[in-house]
Amino acid sequence: MKHNQYIVVVGCGRVGSHVADQLSRNGHSVVVIDRDGTKFNDLSPDFSGFRIEGDATRMVVLTEAGLKKAHVLIATTHEDNVNVMVAQVARKIFNVSHVMARVYDPKREEVYAHLGIETICPTSVAADMFLHAVSNNAGQPEDIAS
């Protein structure tokens, strides 16, 4: 990632606040949008970015967040449809070059990739990690009796 980018994070839950905190610590200009203003309490006290309480599916909120000058948009809400819609608007209307969205439904990942949206699917990531752990330990039962 280039140094000192302008990044908009949509959703300030566990993932969004963690990502925003890290990006802020790394010297990036960060704006966090969430419908619930109490979610901003999840940000660390040293978060140096901006907070916007509002619905990121509304153009006025995205405009207020300065999306037209953003290098990156990261959509982390718990709603796949909101994340993808905001990512598409960022890509198509605001011409944000790097858009990412968290999606829970693995079946949607490929569709979103065709739209130019990079996705992270916690469902697929967790499943892959479990399957990898099982295959690495296959045929090697733990020695419980000794």
Q: Determine, yes or no, domain membership for 121.
A: yes
d(CA 16, CA 39): 10
Q: Specify burial of residue 1 (Cβ count, 10 A radius: 0-12, 13-18, 19+).
A: exposed
60 in a structural domain: yes
* Domain-located, residue 1: no
Q: How many domains does the chain have?
A: 1
DSSP class of residue 45?
T
| pLDDT tens column, 92-132 | 999 999 999 999 998 888 888 888 889 999 999 999 999 99
User: Model pTM greater than 0.95?
Assistant: no
| Residue 139 confidence (pLDDT) above 90 | no
Q: Is the pLDDT of residue 137 over 90?
A: no
Q: Which pLDDT belongs to residue 2?
A: 56
Distance CA 105, CA 107 (A): 5
* CATH code of residue 26: 3.40.50.720
Q: In this predicted model, what pLDDT tens digit does every residue of 26-69 receive, in sequence order?
A: 999 999 999 999 999 999 999 999 999 999 999 999 999 999 99
Which range has the worst mean pLDDT, 9-13, 127-131, 135-139, 142-146?
142-146
Does 146 map to a domain?
no
Whether pLDDT at 70 is above 70: yes
The domain of 64 spans 6-136
Residue 120: helix, strand or coil by DSSP?
A: strand
Q: What token pair was written down for 65?
A: 């967040």
